[in-house]
């Protein structure tokens, strides 16, 4: 249980450092006409004013642990975006993990393997949806995501099949999340198991 808690806290910390706040068209980090995962990562790393969520201070051991495989990290709600028409989503959890005070062990190699294997199983439960319904799903779960009462908002994660998604899809999603105070989210490329999952579902159809 402590290991799972450690993985979850580490993921939240990493995402807090990567979260970009959409303020206005002059300051925006996300292009309105397309979205590039690699370009977005570069912009965020260059940006000096990160929006860091006010959370309980975490043990130093978590910050220096490099064993978490970020390619397989999942938020409370995880979206696989294949293109502007077709996506998948899975609810991983809707209750925030509460951090406990005290010393926590560093993640081991086996912890990382266990986390990847667990998340592969979760990905395989993803449901096919229209990409245009992502904002609706986020809205329906807004109370859980924002979680004002406990001040422990949920992490939302997105995985894109390709580095570049043309059009305003990601711009609109991010704008909606920022306007709805859903500030903790990550966007990455699909890992090989997520790509395999989408291919298998294409064959089934």
110-159, pLDDT tens digit by residue? 888 999 999 999 999 999 999 999 999 999 999 999 986 767 889 999 99
Instruction: Give yes or no for residue 8 having a pLDDT over 60.
Output: no
Instruction: Tell which wins on pLDDT, 105 or 199.
Output: 199
Q: State the Rg of the chain over Cα.
A: 17
Average pLDDT, the chain: 79
Measure the CA–CA gap between 32 and 172, rounded to whole angstroms.
8
The DSSP 8-state label assigned to residue 105 in this structure reads P
19: helix, coil or strand?
coil
- Mean pLDDT confidence for 68-90: 95
Q: Which of 157, 159, 156, 155 is nearest to 195 (CA)?
A: 159
pLDDT tens for residues 20-36? 444 444 345 688 999 99
Which residues are within 8 A (CB) of 61 and not within 5 positions of it... i.e. 6 or more apart? Answer: 103, 104, 105, 106
Instruction: Give pLDDT tens digits for 170-198.
Output: 999 999 999 999 999 999 999 999 999 99
pLDDT of residue 90: 98
């Amino acid at each position: 249980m402590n290991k799972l808690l450690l993985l979850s806290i580490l993921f939240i910390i990493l995402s807090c450092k990567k979260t970009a706040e959409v303020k206005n068209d002059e300051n925006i980090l996300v292009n309105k006409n397309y979205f590039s995962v690699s370009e977005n990562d570069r912009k965020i790393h260059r940006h000096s004013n990160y929006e860091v969520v006010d959370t309980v201070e975490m043990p130093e051991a978590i910050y220096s642990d490099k064993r978490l495989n970020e390619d397989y990290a999942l938020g409370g709600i995880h979206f696989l975006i294949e293109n502007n028409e077709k996506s998948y989503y899975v609810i991983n959890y809707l209750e925030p993990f509460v951090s406990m005070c005290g010393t926590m062990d560093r993640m081991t190699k086996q912890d990382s393997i266990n986390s990847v294997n667990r998340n592969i199983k979760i990905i395989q439960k993803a449901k096919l949806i229209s990409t245009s319904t992502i904002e609706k799903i986020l809205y329906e779960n807004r109370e859980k995501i924002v979680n004002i009462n406990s001040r422990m908002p949920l992490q939302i994660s997105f995985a894109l099949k390709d580095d570049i998604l043309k059009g305003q899809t990601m711009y609109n999603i991010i704008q909606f999340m920022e306007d709805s105070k859903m500030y903790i989210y990550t966007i990455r490329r699909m890992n090989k198991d997520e790509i395999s999952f989408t291919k298998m579902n294409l064959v089934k159809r």
